[in-house]
Structure 1
């Protein structure tokens, strides 16, 4: 895992991923739980996390645009979770009461052979993966 990925995970864990969170928001507790459970999963902790709209996304690169090939998790208004993706246009995969179940659904749907996030953008994974296969950076 890169230092960049670790730093972003630490920031999300410390700030709940939002610059300002409304005091007493009913989504805050479930969101923090989801982030903690995802961070505890080694397969997800290796990806670059990013948040927005009470969703936790995972990218195989550290730059923007991110990759959109890993499902993401969001919090529903009732505090439950949903898993969607990997694209916004993809149908909802499932809804669940458990952050653990949501994280497991994402892990089950990881692209084959995807490894730790690389420094770069979504336009670069093919070049990176080619170098990774030959022992490059």
Structure 2
């Protein structure tokens, strides 16, 4: 795992590892649990994590533009989670009451030869893979 990936996970864990405050969104606690569960999985921990809109995304590269070939996990009301993707235009894969089940669904759908995260953006990763696969 690269220092870049480790640092991204550290930042996310530090942000969501804090106890929630009354003014925080009701999605805070379930999202924080999701982050902890995902971080505990070695296959996901080697990927670059990023968050937005109460979603946890995983990229096979470290720089924007990130890859969009891994499902992501959204946090829903009532402590539920949804697994979607890998693209936003793809129908929802499933909803679950468990962060563990959501993480397992993502792991089951990881692309072949997934990880560790490539240092660079999605275009550079694609060029690297094309050259590697043509040998």
Aligned to 1:114: 114
1:63 and 2:63 correspond: yes
Shift of 1:127: 2.8
Shift of 1:45: 0.4
Aligned to 1:51: 51
Shift of 1:16: 2.3
Shift of 1:124: 1.5
Partners of 1:133 and 1:45 lie apart in 2 by: 25
Partners of 1:126 and 1:25 lie apart in 2 by: 38
Partners of 2:119 and 2:132 lie apart in 1 by: 13
Q: Is the 8 A contact 1:50 1:56 kept in 2?
A: yes
Partners of 2:131 and 2:115 lie apart in 1 by: 13
Partners of 1:109 and 1:130 lie apart in 2 by: 22
Change (3 A) 1:22 1:116: farther
CA RMSD of aligned residues (A): 2.0
What stretches of structure 1 of length at least 5 have no aligned partner?
Answer: none
Question: How do 1:93-132 and structure 2 match up within 5 A?
Answer: 93-129=93-129
Query: Secondary structure at 1:127's aligned position in 2?
Result: helix
Q: Is the 8 A contact 1:118 1:128 kept in 2?
A: no
Partners of 1:24 and 1:51 lie apart in 2 by: 16
Partners of 1:120 and 1:126 lie apart in 2 by: 10
Partners of 1:14 and 1:85 lie apart in 2 by: 26
Partners of 2:13 and 2:81 lie apart in 1 by: 18
Choose between structure 1 and 2: higher helix proportion.
Answer: 2
